[in-house]
Structure 1
Amino acid sequence: MGDDADLNKERLELVLEAAGLDLWENDLVSGQVTHKATKTFLELGFTEDEIVSGVQDIFGLFHPGDLDMVRQAVADHVAGVTAQYRAEFRLRSKAGEWVWFANYGRIMDRSSDTPGKRLIGVTFNIHDRKQKEDEIAHINRQLTEQNKLLQELNAALELLAANDSLTGLANRRTLMEMGANECKRTERFDHTLSLMVVDIDLFKAVNDAWGHLAGDRMICAVAQACAARKRSGVDIVARFGGEEFVIVLPETDGVSALRVAEALRQEVAALRVSVNDEGVSVSVTVSIGVATLHKGSGLSFEELVNRADKALYRAKETGRNAVYCADVQHGCVPVVHMLIDPGEGRNGALLT
């Protein structure tokens, strides 16, 4: 019988060794370690004389951040809450390094009548696995941060692609896309849609007299005046090219659009824009062409822009600093008429 027991013990030790497991046993009554996890502590750099024999001393080697979790895992199993005791933790080596291990154990002599007093289990090194998990977690954090940065960069690129770099207004491509959608909405919901083409008068003279930097300042000042008229989330304000701007006014009839255009014309005329660092400022005026689209007209957005552009050139031809409107209601041939008198009307009075 003794030979069989020794043989079984040798077999068990061989299996444990091959699996990298270190057998231990604790007496839950006395608190003593009845079978030391010798291999684990030798792995941590301790000599056999230094290997601890009490449960409390063993707990003294646990990482402070893991100790409560391990105690709770033991308590849960002793109380019958869990079928097995399982825990992962760090132990301090003799050299002071933290090494990851795992414990699996179970009370072997528990019955319905007795709580059991022998907790038997195995300890094994999981340091390499934990390091890989940490590396993966670190990589995942980096990927998350990089993805966030990439999203921010993409959003910035989309904004740059959609907006004019000088003024911050929508650019021509964005205008044409959004304008086409507004035309579809006009047709679908039977709304009117008005559009203004705004052009700075005699802009070349500003560039010639004060340089392109002064011209850029002038463009930005007029752009801000146009943007100030925008209804947030409704209107579209875009730089159409050079010194020309387009303002799209959804759900706005021709009379209302003319009022907006006239107010903008007066506001720009009152501007004084600094053209150099010496404090010299100049003023400019704008000419504005207005067109209105109604349901059933059959006009595309590009055609609507062209009609407003033709009205703009009529304003230019008659002396500038004026607002002209092209009547495009119901697809009729437009009748271009002047709203602002090119002579007396320079003061902004509406003709009646």
Structure 2
Amino acid sequence: MGNSGAARTGLLCAASEEHRSMGSDAFPPFDPTQPARDAAFASAPVALCIVARDLRLLAVNARLAALAGAPVCALVGRPADDFLPGASALLNRWFDRIDAGRALHDQELSEPGGERTFLVSAAPLLDDAGSTAALSVALTDITRRRELRAALARRERQIGAALESAGQWIWELDIPTGRVARSRHWRRAVGYATGELSDEAQHTAWSIVHPEDRPGVIRRYEQVLAGTSEVFEAVYRIADRFGRWRWILGRGRIVARDASGKPLRLLATSVDITRQKQIEEELEATVRQRERLERELVEANRRLTELSEMDALTELPNRRKFDKALARELGRSGRNEPSLALLMIDVDDFKSYNDLYGHIEGDDCLRRIAEALRGCAVRPADLVTRYGGEEFATILPDSTKHDGESVATAMLQAVRALRIPHAGSPDGIVTVSIGITVRHAEAAPGGRRTDLLASADRALYAAKQAGRNRILIAGVDGSMYPVPVPDAAATDATPPGPG
């Protein structure tokens, strides 16, 4: 502090806190035999100051000087309003309350413009005559806490209000005995009145800490004792008077050592951060909910895409999916570009089938044919689609002419094997005609989709013209070649009657 008067005032603050923690209602003068308390005042993680009756600062600690942006010596003797405009009204009310014998309550005070908000706590300091000579004031910057509440105000209006004051207290641990002395503020924070707590709860170190949190707190404490950490800092839970667990942030440091350097006393402050924890948990829950909704949205979009690319009747990919897949395959380029087989399949005499058996039977016929065709293209990359009406199309990536012929033959035979009666067909059953074209590996990358489709269509038309129920493949020179398939008469028994 550098100022003997300020140092004495700092000692007075700490001594008064200790005395009050022991349960006394009087505030005796400071004990000059314990100078280490001045260090606690100077290094406390909250902003502290001593304010005289004329509202001038008698002493300030480093934290308050840092908040003010001025050295300690420049603040001592100045009016409190110079540091925090508007503070004088609050301080006068507090002096009036003290004189009236009424308790002081923590207050929130904002800077002009609302840039920073502080939680302001105060306690009276008595002179030798027992009169209130000054106030010991603590300021906690709760600006960030208020910002978090504002972020949640859209979802919970009550969180938009000012954050409830968090209880604070100072405690001192006598390391050799394990006894702890706390200022009476801690009882207020947890709702206990004087005399309601056992001696163990009041004075035994770590006894009030939640059993699950205790090992971690003790571990951090032992790190300070071992010298691996200069500052004790831990977040833990303690039970209030109603059995509710309150989240506490405790910070402190060693303030006394023996001649050999062994720690003797730990002086710390504790802050109730329960509301802040609740806000964090709500934020985490909101994030988890948003992530879940995003996953559901992605899945819904994926499903919508699938539905938009699926034929509702046959549950095969539709023309849109076919066009995208063919464009993708034709877009594959490189020196070793794979070949591709394209099959166009048409149900023979389907119009007459609908005329004979009706559209309901016609729809069922298409569904059965679709299932049969799908079962013949078994590789993951193979794609069987409903091209339109009674026409189907199949893309066989990385396939040769022989591969295309094999799949087409299997499809022709699979439809025959269904033995769907068709009185209007020369074969007596429903059959299909198939046209094949192959894009060879030596072809130039890319290529026109319409050229490939036109080639397969010509092969299909030629199969129809040649008598249906057969397969033709388009050669590179434009000629058509039949694909031998077993004779229908040799593979199909006499079909059952219609219906």
The TM-score by the shorter chain falls in which range? 0.7 to 0.9
- Spell out the pairing of 1:48-59 with structure 2 (5 A cutoff): 48-54=194-200, 59=206
- Spell out the pairing of 1:120-159 with structure 2 (5 A cutoff): 120-159=267-306
Letter in 1 for 2:471: V
- Spell out the pairing of 1:215-226 with structure 2 (5 A cutoff): 215-226=362-373
String of CA shifts for 1:61-94, please: whole Å, max 9, x gaps.
3333322222222222222222111111121111
- Alpha carbons of structure 1 residues 287 and 31: separation in structure 2 relative to 1, 3 Å: same
Bigger Cα displacement from structure 2, 175-184 vs 211-220: 211-220
Contact 2:433/2:471, CA 8 A, preserved across alignment: yes
Are 1:313 and 2:478 an aligned pair? no
Deviation of residue 130 (structure 1)? Answer: 1.1
Letter in 2 for 1:300: R
- Alpha carbons of structure 1 residues 273 and 111: separation in structure 2 relative to 1, 3 Å: farther
Take 1:171 and 1:227, find their aligned partners in 2: how far apart are those partners?
A: 13
2:302 aligned counterpart, secondary structure:
helix
Are 1:40 and 2:40 an aligned pair? no
Contact 1:186/1:192, CA 8 A, preserved across alignment: no
Deviation of residue 287 (structure 1)? Answer: 1.0
- Spell out the pairing of 1:297-336 with structure 2 (5 A cutoff): 300-327=448-475, 329=476, 332=477, 334-336=478-480
Match of 1:227 among 359, 374, 386: 374
String of CA shifts for 1:199-225, please: whole Å, max 9, x gaps.
122334444455544433322322222
Are 1:172 and 2:319 an aligned pair? yes
- Alpha carbons of structure 1 residues 97 and 251: separation in structure 2 relative to 1, 3 Å: closer
Take 1:190 and 1:17, find their aligned partners in 2: how far apart are those partners?
A: 76
- Spell out the pairing of 1:248-267 with structure 2 (5 A cutoff): 248-267=395-414
Contact 1:16/1:22, CA 8 A, preserved across alignment: no
Are 1:288 and 2:434 an aligned pair? yes
Bigger Cα displacement from structure 2, 203-212 vs 139-148: 203-212
**TM-score, structure 2 normalization:** 0.59
Contact 1:164/1:239, CA 8 A, preserved across alignment: yes
- Spell out the pairing of 1:3-42 with structure 2 (5 A cutoff): 5=8, 8-10=11-13, 11=50, 14=135, 17-19=138-140, 21-33=168-180, 35-42=181-188
The corresponding residue for 1:73 is 220
Take 1:256 and 1:262, find their aligned partners in 2: how far apart are those partners?
A: 10
Take 1:112 and 1:302, find their aligned partners in 2: how far apart are those partners?
A: 95
String of CA shifts for 1:29-50, please: whole Å, max 9, x gaps.
12222x3231121121100112
Take 2:8 and 2:199, find their aligned partners in 1: how far apart are those partners?
A: 25
Take 2:170 and 2:467, find their aligned partners in 1: how far apart are those partners?
A: 101
Letter in 1 for 2:454: N
String of CA shifts for 1:2-44, please: whole Å, max 9, x gaps.
99735752438555544364111111112222x3231121121
Q: Which has the higher helix share?
A: 1
Contact 1:38/1:51, CA 8 A, preserved across alignment: no
Contact 1:91/1:100, CA 8 A, preserved across alignment: yes
Take 1:316 and 1:29, find their aligned partners in 2: how far apart are those partners?
A: 103
5+ long unaligned stretches in structure 1: 275-281
- Alpha carbons of structure 1 residues 7 and 234: separation in structure 2 relative to 1, 3 Å: closer
Take 2:448 and 2:244, find their aligned partners in 1: how far apart are those partners?
A: 74
- Alpha carbons of structure 1 residues 233 and 271: separation in structure 2 relative to 1, 3 Å: same
5+ long unaligned stretches in structure 2: 14-49, 51-59, 61-122, 124-134, 141-166, 422-427, 492-499
Letter in 2 for 1:217: D
Contact 1:90/1:100, CA 8 A, preserved across alignment: yes
Are 1:201 and 2:345 an aligned pair? no
- Alpha carbons of structure 1 residues 233 and 67: separation in structure 2 relative to 1, 3 Å: same
Take 1:184 and 1:77, find their aligned partners in 2: how far apart are those partners?
A: 66
Deviation of residue 153 (structure 1)? Answer: 1.8
Letter in 2 for 1:237: V
Take 2:175 and 2:194, find their aligned partners in 1: how far apart are those partners?
A: 23
Contact 1:171/1:240, CA 8 A, preserved across alignment: yes
Contact 2:172/2:268, CA 8 A, preserved across alignment: yes
String of CA shifts for 1:219-251, please: whole Å, max 9, x gaps.
232222222222424433222112211112234
Contact 1:324/1:340, CA 8 A, preserved across alignment: no
Bigger Cα displacement from structure 2, 116-125 vs 232-241: 232-241
Letter in 1 for 2:479: V
2:344 aligned counterpart, secondary structure:
strand
When the two structures are aligned, how many residues end up with a matched partner? 335
Contact 2:433/2:470, CA 8 A, preserved across alignment: yes
- Alpha carbons of structure 1 residues 272 and 53: separation in structure 2 relative to 1, 3 Å: farther
Take 2:254 and 2:306, find their aligned partners in 1: how far apart are those partners?
A: 65
1:117 aligned counterpart, secondary structure:
strand
